[in-house]
Amino acid sequence: MDLKGKVIVVTGAGQGLGLTTSLALAAKGANLALVDLDEGHLANAVKLCEEAGATARSYKANVASEAEVEKLYADVVNDFGALDGTINNAGITRDGLLVKAKDGEVVKKMELKDWQAVIDVNLTGVFLCAREAASKMIELGKPGVIINISSISRAGNFGQTNYTAAKAGVAAMTVTWAKELARYNIRVAAIAPGFVNTPMVANMNAHALEKLQGGIPLKRLAEPDEIAMTAAFIFENDYFTGRVVEVDGGLRL
């Protein structure tokens, strides 16, 4: 797919990976529908994408809400008259151990609300956005591309029961949808980043982060544009579908 003039939805586009990826696609001539919860971040993202030459519009929507996601994709098609791609990037963390014990006594458990919050945004949100995007793409009768953001943590990671479950689910749904949607000329792929220099990682404990970087063969975090260029590759390579690209500096969890 040539990105020039294509309409791409990016969720979680207000900051971090979503913002950098939106800017990379804008630089390649795409037009952007930018989705986030924070209106201030969205206004800034629209301004930056327009400076990069794109037509950009902002949409405040919670990807975990079925009604809001249905309205979002209907609005995007109404506003732009097209929908060529979507990047299901919005995500959150609520890290914690399954159970924490001291002297044989369980002192803490992962709370159901922390499990549910991550599943709602990182798994259900991806399902809802992909479902609505695919529906619109089929109705528009043009080729489309769906990119889901998984994570290296999909293999299982200490302190991330909720996040690993969601990201493994995202990888599995990607393969399923690639099989189901190929007949409609829709390709589906995922990116599983390692640890990336974004606000999400900036919130990590500094000592833990330093230790983690030491274990990465390339000895550094990824920069967001190193993930963004992977998204551009997936859009541009028409033979790429049903696979998860790992961009992790060689780190295996």
Going by C-alpha positions, the residue among 86, 76, 77, 59 that lies closest to residue 1 is 86
Q: Is 249 in the site for ligand NAP (CB under 6 A)?
A: no
* Secondary-structure breakdown of the chain: helix, strand, coil percentages, each rounded to the nearest 5: 50, 20, 30
Give the total of residues touching ligand NAP (CB under 6 A).
30
160 binds ligand NAP (CB under 6 A): no
Give the interface segment with ligand NAP, choosing from 16-24, 48-56, 72-80, 177-185 (CB under 6 A): 16-24
Q: What is the DSSP letter of 54?
A: -
- Decide whether 5 or 215 has the Cβ nearer to ligand NAP: 215
Torsion of CA 235, 240, 238, 10, to 10 degrees: -20
Residues 6+ apart with CB under 8 A from 236: 1, 2, 3
Q: How far is the CB of 69 from ligand NAP (least distance, A)?
A: 9
Residue of the chain from 1, 9, 12, 73 that contacts ligand NAP (CB under 6 A): 12
The reply to whether 198 sits near ligand NAP by the rule CB under 6 A is: yes
The correct pick among 196, 228, 231, 234 for binding ligand NAP (CB under 6 A) is 196
Is position 59 annotated as part of the catalytic site? no
Site for ligand NAP in 105-124 (CB under 6 A): 121
Per-residue x/- marks for ligand NAP, 120-159, CB under 6 A? -x---x-----------------------x-x--------
**DSSP run (H or E) holding 208:** helix 206-214
Strands of 19-104, DSSP E: 31-36, 56-60, 85-88, 99-102
Active site residues: 163
